[in-house]
Amino acid sequence: MVTMTAAGAPTPDLILRGCTLEGRSAPADVAIRDGVITGVGARIDADGRAELDAGGRLVTAAFVQPHIHLDKVGTLPLLGSNRSGTLAEAIDILHRIKRSASAGDVAARAGVVIRQAVLSGTTRIRTHVDVDTIGGLTPLRGVLQAAREHADLCDIQIVAFPQEGIIRDPGSAGLLAAAMGEGAGVVGGMPHWETSEQDSRDHIAICMDLAARFGADVDMHVDETDDPRSRTLAMLIDATLAHGWQGRVTAGHCCAMAAWEESYTAEVIGRAAAARLAFVTNPATNLLLQGRLDQEPRRRGLPPVKELLAAGLTVGCGQDCVQDGFYPFGAADQLQVALILCHAAQLSAPPEIDAALRAIGTAAARLMGVSGYGLEPGCAADLIVLDAGTMHEALRLQAPRRWVIRRGAVVAQTQTASTLAPAGHQERS
Ligand SMILES: [Zn+2]
């Protein structure tokens, strides 16, 4: 039975009272019904089935994670047997883990990080998952299992990712097609990992054909290296235009851009804009990994974020890794990632900080093809109530996520109470 308010509208399932909303000078209420925002106003004159007093806290759309590897998260403790400490042995151990892990093992590790992400306000995740002849489809099945187990908390998009290459890993092309048939929704790629320029082009062609066959978007790992000769981004742009896939292709990492000649970078950015390419930078992992062999000055291994933004390109920002063989940190907290982005890309003017926040919000949602993202009536009611008054303050202080709401249901809450002891100055005496 649908009950009605006095004004004749269906009763909201939930009303958030006393919310601070960016762009509004006075507190507002947000009404939600059937998982969708139905009203935003100074005072919603109705009783909801449930009400939540935001107490003047900031309410914003939930964060979006556009790039993580849920099949690899939490593998770091398993890598402890690296006796030589070399990258070669680390990769060997990674392959052994990939070969031997069951779908249940992958699902368990991924689940820990999905729950962390939700606790910190992320309700939409795009994850790359290895598809190759080492692990076959087991990592995919593990992440699909984790996605099913957390379907009430989070939306998860899966990118079929040929981590070991396609031309240099015979059999992986067929596995990629099988992965798309089994639940992956986006075609991945890593063309710079091939051993020749022609193989990189063939790699991209295989991926684009697969995308056309499944009507899928494309999200590739591009030039994740310090080598200035790595130029597969231009190949991806060519293929995007040739296939008419403008607006449906994302380039992740793009570290070699930090090593390119300025004039070449400018030319490629212009072509990327024509192809409406989206970018995802992963500053946490790449700050740690890139430029290791440089003398000072040391390259940061990031694409030129300010130039991409100035060209009107969509720029998202991802976590990439959590506690794996590449990166020992990571909390799956997009507010932390955005703060790292500000430092890495030197985003400090207020409009630049806004861009960093869009990189974990509207920009990330756009490149993932998420519809109904935002705080307007008609948008999905995926929201965060933050212990802050503005987003800049939330970013600076890494404000607690007091409540996380997904499709109108409270899915996480955080309570913190830090106080100075009354005799807090005693240690000085
Ligand atoms: Zn990645």
Q: For residue 80, what pLDDT is reported?
A: 75
Does residue 308 carry a pLDDT above 70?
yes
Q: For residue 157, what pLDDT is reported?
A: 98
Mean pLDDT of the chain: 94
- Token pair recorded at residue 96: 């052994």
Cα of 253 vs centre of ligand 1, distance in Å, is 7
Q: For residue 3, what pLDDT is reported?
A: 60
**How much of the chain, in percent, has pLDDT values that exceed 90?**
86
Name beta bridge partners: 126: 157
Cα of 241 vs centre of ligand 1, distance in Å, is 24
CB atoms inside a 10 Å sphere around CB 267: 13
Cα of 2 vs centre of ligand 1, distance in Å, is 46
Of 145-149, 167-171, 422-426, which range is least confident? 422-426
pLDDT, tens digit, 9 for 90 and up, residues 194-211: 999 999 999 999 999 999
Cα of 252 vs centre of ligand 1, distance in Å, is 7
224, 267, 376, 427: the active-site residue = 224
Cα of 28 vs centre of ligand 1, distance in Å, is 39
CA 218 from chain center: how many Å? 15
Q: For residue 94, what pLDDT is reported?
A: 86
User: What are the angstrom distances between the C-alpha of 402 and each of 52, 180, 239, 262, 379?
Assistant: 11, 37, 45, 44, 21
Cα of 128 vs centre of ligand 1, distance in Å, is 7
pLDDT grade for 429, boundaries at 50, 70 and 90: very low
The torsion angle over the Cα atoms of residues 329, 334, 337 and 342, rounded to 10 degrees, is -170
211 burial (CB, 10 Å; 0-12 / 13-18 / 19+) is buried
Cα of 131 vs centre of ligand 1, distance in Å, is 14
3-state SS, one letter per residue, for the chain: CCCECCCCCECCCEEEEEEECCCCCCCEEEEEECCEEEEEECCCCCCCCEEEECCCCEEEECEEEEEECCCCCCCHHHHCCCCCCCHHHHHHHHHHHHHHCCHHHHHHHHHHHHHHHHHCCEEEEEEEEECECCCECHHHHHHHHHHHHCCCCCEEEEEEECCCCCCCCCCHHHHHHHHHHHCCCEECCCHHHCCCHHHHHHHHHHHHHHHHHHCCEEEEEECCCCCCCCCHHHHHHHHHHHHCCCCCEEEEECHHHHCCCHHHHHHHHHHHHHCCCEEEECHHHHHHHCCCCCCCCCCCCCCCHHHHHHCCCEEEECCECCCCCCCCCCCCCHHHHHHHHHHHCCCCCHHHHHHHHHCCCHHHHHHCCCCCCCCCCCCECCEEEECCCCHHHHHHHCCCEEEEEECCEEEEECCCCCCCCCCCCHHHC
Cα of 398 vs centre of ligand 1, distance in Å, is 24
Cα of 111 vs centre of ligand 1, distance in Å, is 18
Q: Which residue has the tokens 């939490």?
A: 74
Is residue 262 flagged as an active site residue?
Answer: no
pLDDT, tens digit, 9 for 90 and up, residues 72-113: 999 988 877 667 766 677 778 889 999 999 999 999 999 999
Over residues 331-359, the mean pLDDT reads 98
pLDDT, tens digit, 9 for 90 and up, residues 235-250: 999 999 999 999 999 9
Query: Do residues 388 and 399 lie in contact, with contact meaning Cβ atoms separated by under 8 Å?
Result: yes
* Predicted structure pTM score: 0.95
pLDDT, tens digit, 9 for 90 and up, residues 33-66: 999 999 999 999 999 999 999 999 999 999 999 9
Q: For residue 40, what pLDDT is reported?
A: 97
Nearest to 9 by CA among 30, 50, 49, 38: 38
CB atoms inside a 10 Å sphere around CB 350: 9
Cα of 280 vs centre of ligand 1, distance in Å, is 9
Query: Do residues 107 and 147 lie in contact, with contact meaning Cβ atoms separated by under 8 Å?
Result: no
Cα of 203 vs centre of ligand 1, distance in Å, is 17
State how far the Cα of 372 lies from the Cα of 34, in Å rounded to an integer: 14
Query: Do residues 225 and 286 lie in contact, with contact meaning Cβ atoms separated by under 8 Å?
Result: no
Higher pLDDT, 154 or 426: 154
Cα of 221 vs centre of ligand 1, distance in Å, is 6
